[in-house]
Amino acid sequence: MGIDIDLALSNSSFPSKLLKDDTARAQGSDFQALLSELIKLSNNPLFGLHSAQYVQPGSYVVLGYITMNSRTVKEAIDKAMPFEKLVGDMGSTELTQTDNGLLMTWHCNYTNPEVIPHMVDNVLASWVTYSRWLADRPEQAPIEVWLTKDKPNEEILAEYQEVFRCPIKFNQSTNTLVLSNAQLEFPLRRPDPMLLKTLEQHAQTQLSELTSDNDIIFEVTRAIRDIMRTEPPRKERLAEVLGVSARTLQRKLQTANSSYQELLDNVRQESAEYYLAYSQLPMSEIASHLGFSDTRSFHRSFKLWTDTTPGDYRIQKQTQ
């Protein structure tokens, strides 16, 4: 993009020696400082959006190769998301299944208000650009894109349209891509189930080495969300996905002053609020998706979490 890289590294005090080691990881604070300098030196209000065009499979490390060897867009998402942290600590993705498709919401972990909007633009645009290449469908676009930022002027809005090629809603509560069920079933270029299995095992090993007691809450929360999409999130299944014993999982959560039930309730509440606000799923199906034995149990828990009923919450959100 014509930026003086040496100057950016120098001004940000980024430890440039890390760039010589493919296995090294930069601290989030260092990366934010570097991004801030890149944004400044680019003099480009859409630095994040424009830099997304340079994404390659290797940009996502092992996740890129997992997606390349998946059969469909849906499988690529399902297989890659549990290992998202291998790419970095920039943020986390939340997946919410609705009647008509999938909401892919990205939550930025960074705190620099200058960096955050560029990171959001870069991540969402990278997903779209990369998925077009994976499915060999350069014309494809999400159903909608939701962004928390204010609506820009017409000139900048045209730049967003050129990248996403779909309706874009601004001033939203989340940063989200909306995909249809049909798009999730698009076949990818060159699936290899045997290689995919090997890559998943490699990614799991890397994740286990990376995970510490300090970030176990992040990993458990992510795993609960992923498991909940296809089956009840039992503690034993959760431990299996994380590659530890149930006893070790319990010990790690206790060390982090948390518990399986607390994190499960947090995920259930977040997911319930999404289903009620953005779908027409009946209460019985929402309860089933969240792993409740019946609608009554779901109703009771939701009232405890929010001090309102699921029905009243849905009316409030869908009439705003």
Same domain, 22 and 52: no
- Let me know if residue 109 belongs to a domain: yes
Same domain, 8 and 57: no
| Domain span holding position 79 | 48-184
Same domain, 16 and 73: no
Same domain, 55 and 174: yes
Token pair belonging to 44: 């480009």
Same domain, 171 and 264: no
- Average predicted confidence (pLDDT) for the chain: 90
pLDDT for res 320: 65
pLDDT in tens, 199-238: 999 888 888 777 654 578 878 887 888 788 778 888 999 9
Same domain, 92 and 140: yes
Same domain, 15 and 119: no
pLDDT for res 86: 87
Mention every residue, 6+ apart, whose C-beta is less than 8 A from residue 32. Answer: 110, 111, 112, 115
Same domain, 7 and 108: no
**How do the pLDDT tens digits run along the chain, 320 residues long?**
889 999 999 999 999 888 888 778 888 889 999 999 999 999 999 999 999 999 888 888 888 999 999 999 999 999 998 888 888 888 889 898 888 899 999 999 888 888 999 999 999 999 999 999 999 999 999 999 999 999 999 999 999 999 999 999 998 989 999 999 999 999 998 899 999 999 999 888 888 777 654 578 878 887 888 788 778 888 999 988 888 899 989 988 988 888 999 999 988 988 888 788 877 889 999 999 898 989 999 999 999 999 999 999 999 887 76
- Let me know if residue 110 belongs to a domain: yes
pLDDT for res 226: 79
What is the pTM (predicted TM-score) of this model? 0.70
End of a domain among 24, 43, 62?
Answer: 43
- Let me know if residue 122 belongs to a domain: yes
Same domain, 31 and 59: no
pLDDT for res 17: 87
Q: Is 312 helix (H, G, I), strand (E, B) or coil?
A: helix
For 92, phi and psi rounded to 5 degrees?
A: -140, 155
Rounded-to-integer distance, Cα 317 and Cα 277, Å? 5
- Let me know if residue 201 belongs to a domain: no
- Let me know if residue 15 belongs to a domain: yes
Q: Are 237 and 231 in contact (CB under 8 A)?
A: yes
Task: Provide the domain count of the chain.
Answer: 3
- Let me know if residue 204 belongs to a domain: no
DSSP summary character for residue 294:
S
Same domain, 13 and 59: no
Which residues are paired to 106 by β-bridges?
93
pLDDT for res 304: 94
